[in-house]
Amino acid sequence: DSGVTQTPKHLITATGQRVTLRCSPRSGDLSVYWYQQSLDQGLQFLIHYYNGEERAKGNILERFSAQQFPDLHSELNLSSLELGDSALYFCASSFISGGAVTDTQYFGPGTRLTVL
Amino acid sequence: DAKTTQPPSMDCAEGRAANLPCNHSTISGNEYVYWYRQIHSQGPQYIIHGLKNNETNEMASLIITEDRKSSTLILPHATLRDTAVYYCIVVSEMDSNYQLIWGAGTKLIIKP
């Protein structure tokens, strides 16, 4: 158990809909990262938040957005969903801001999103 | 594109040492080598990381060549639970962004 929690575990929805994925980092961790993993693919970095502020963006679509709240939990919002958005979505947390290259990330169990 | 090259798959007998290679020929001086593994769609699990020196922890050993262009992750006594996809990642910081680029990894199958 990494200490990172994600809800829900599974999510099934229809095209065009909007969903919110939630992540609670390990106690004391200030950074939250979001990743997308499509079927049999590697992880794609989406976005990184540190202590409530966006720090880095990866290949995140404009239809996707995220935020980190004062209690440090984070939400990833996916809108106008398409079939291709079906994937595993992982969040990870770390203590250091992400500016240090020795930033070890601890991953949650993921949310499996299925868009029908 | 990922900065690392790994074999797509490997087999290892249970109880033997599993040696997973990784090439990172374009690594720069301040970039670390990290290893994670992912067991069947679970969240990736941190294994070990290093800069120049060899490293060892309770899970594995990391051997980095002197020129830092390649490394090997060693699982000393592989068990069936070590069957997973192993990712070698070069961690870089580009300007104010933090890039973590994952390749396809090596699918390690431990056989009884």
Inspect the interface and report whether the beta carbons of A42 and B98 lie closer than 8 Å: no
The more confidently predicted of residues A41 and B37 is B37
Residue A4, chain B, CB below 8 Å: the answer is yes
Is the pLDDT at A70 greater than 60? The verdict is: yes
Nearest to B35 by CA among B17, B61, B68, B13: B61
Per the omega criterion (within 30 degrees of 0), is the bond before A8 cis? Answer: yes
Continuous segment of H or E residues that includes residue A54: strand A53-57
Measured from the Cβ of residue B61, the count of other Cβ atoms closer than 10 Å reads 17
β pairing state of B106-111 and B9-13:
parallel
- Give the model's confidence band at A99: pLDDT under 50 very low, under 70 low, under 90 confident, else very high: low
Partners of B97 on chain A (C-beta within 8 Å) are 55-57
- Give the model's confidence band at A102: pLDDT under 50 very low, under 70 low, under 90 confident, else very high: low
Residue with the two structure tokens 């990642």: B89
- Give the model's confidence band at A27: pLDDT under 50 very low, under 70 low, under 90 confident, else very high: very high
Inspect the interface and report whether the beta carbons of B93 and A99 lie closer than 8 Å: yes
Residue A56 in 3-state DSSP?
Answer: strand
Residue A104 backbone dihedrals phi, psi, to 5 degrees: -80, 130
Q: What is the mean pLDDT of residues B80-102?
A: 77
Q: What is the mean pLDDT of residues B1-11?
A: 87
Say if residues B28 and B81 touch (Cβ distance below 8 Å). Answer: no
Is the pLDDT at B3 greater than 90? The verdict is: no
Is the pLDDT at B86 greater than 50? The verdict is: yes
Nearest residue of B to residue A42, measured between CA atoms: B104
Inspect the interface and report whether the beta carbons of B97 and A57 lie closer than 8 Å: yes
Work out the percent of chain B whose per-residue pLDDT is above 90: 70
**Candidates B98, B99, B107, partner chain A, best to mutate (most A CBs within 10 A):** B98
